[in-house]
Amino acid sequence: MVVDIVEPKDLILVEKGDEGTVFRRIEKPEEVRKELSERGVTLSERWLYGKL
C-alpha cells in the first residue's frame, strides 16, 4: 500500500543478487504511469506481479 502513495519516478527498487544489493529507479516512469491509468491497476499491483 505504501508503494501506491508515491509517484513511479520517486520509487527506488532494491534487489539483492549474487553480487550484492542493487538500487534502481524505474527507467520510464511516465510510460509506467500511463499504463497504470489505462489498465486500471495500482503501482503496487504492477510491482507484485514482477512488471517493474
At 3-49, the pLDDT tens digits run 899 999 999 999 998 999 999 999 999 999 999 999 999 999 988 88
pLDDT of res. 16: 94
Contact by Cβ (8 Å): 29, 8:
yes
Cα–Cα distance, 19 to 16 (Å, whole number): 8
Q: Which residues pair with residue 24 across a beta bridge?
A: 13
Q: How far is CA 15 from CA 4, 38, 44, in A?
A: 19, 27, 16
Beta bridge partners of 20: 17
Identify the band that residue 1 occupies on the pLDDT scale cut at 50, 70 and 90. Answer: confident
Predicted pLDDT at 28: 93
Location of C-alpha cell 491497476: 41
pLDDT of residue 22: 95
Q: Please give the model's pTM, rounded to 2 decimal places.
A: 0.69
Total domain count for the chain?
1
Domain that holds residue 43: 2-48
